[in-house]
Amino acid sequence: MATSSNNQPRFGHGGGINSRAAPLPTHQQPYTTPGFGTSSKNAQTREAERLDAQRRAREQKAAAENDAQTALESLSEEQREEIQEAFNLFDLDKDRYIDYHELKVAMKALGFDEPKQEILSILQTNGVQAAGQHAGGSKQKQPVGKYQSPPRWLLSFESFQVIMAQRIVSRDPQDEINRAFDLFDGDGKGSITLQDLERVAKELGEGLQHEELQAMIDEFDMNGDGAISREEFINICLG
């Protein structure tokens, strides 16, 4: 008996099985982490930036240490002694630390009359904080960064020496000459007299006689007014 074609399964169009695969249900879709590639890239960028910042910090520290060493090596023996004497003069308790007021006058003694903000900047950048006073009167130190209210900053001799060395070697020679002239011309009259030489010689403990000091005046007094002007003093220093 012939089989009816209506009983044959038909493929393709119509009510039979479709040749195209049906889409998977949502819960069976392959899982992917949203933004995983971007997040990984950002993390790598941040790590590279961190390493670069550390490298630059190391280079800056090495350069600063090299500059400090160069400045110290450039000092003359006389300049080293001046720095030591200025520090010792104002380190009253001899613990090799000085505070704000002591630093200000020590720097002024070396020819650097700095404003308050500059002194504070030096202390906060290079100093340590003091927690208070010991029973014996010496200054108590603690590492920078530990909170102290109100903060009182101290500068060690080693830091003071480096800071002064850098400032001295970078100073204009003309400024040095003018500073020396002002030390002799104590009352600011604009000239150095025999009395000025006698005063400075006495302060320095030099046993120069009256005749020797007068001979200095006579040798360098170009206009015959009995004193050495600033211009004459500059010519003496510059040879």
pLDDT-based confidence at 135, cuts 50/70/90?
very low
Per-residue pLDDT at 113? 86
pLDDT-based confidence at 61, cuts 50/70/90?
low
Where b means 16+ CB within 10 Å and e means fewer, 33-54 reads eeeeeeeeeeeeeeeeeeeeee
Per-residue pLDDT at 69? 79
Q: Which has more confidence, 139 or 47?
A: 47
Is the model's pLDDT at 100 over the cut of 90? yes
CATH 1.10.287.70 fits 74-169, yes or no: no
Is there a common fold for 74-169 and 173-238?
yes
Per-residue pLDDT at 148? 44
Per-residue pLDDT at 192? 93
Per CATH, which fold does 173-238 belong to? Answer: Recoverin; domain 1 (1.10.238)
pLDDT-based confidence at 21, cuts 50/70/90?
low
Locate the domains of the chain by residue range: 74-169, 173-238
Per-residue pLDDT at 191? 92
Largest CA distance in the chain: 157
Reported pTM = 0.52
Report the first-to-last Cα separation within the chain, whole angstroms: 139
Per-residue pLDDT at 116? 93
pLDDT tens-place string over residues 162-189: 999 999 888 888 887 888 898 899 888 9
Q: Within a 10 A sphere around the Cβ of 19, how many other Cβ atoms?
A: 8
Vertex 180, ends 113 and 115: CA angle to 5°?
5
| DSSP bridge pairs for 192 | 228
- Which pair of structure tokens corresponds to residue 38? 């971007």
Residue 202 Cα to chain centre, angstroms = 38
Per-residue pLDDT at 58? 75
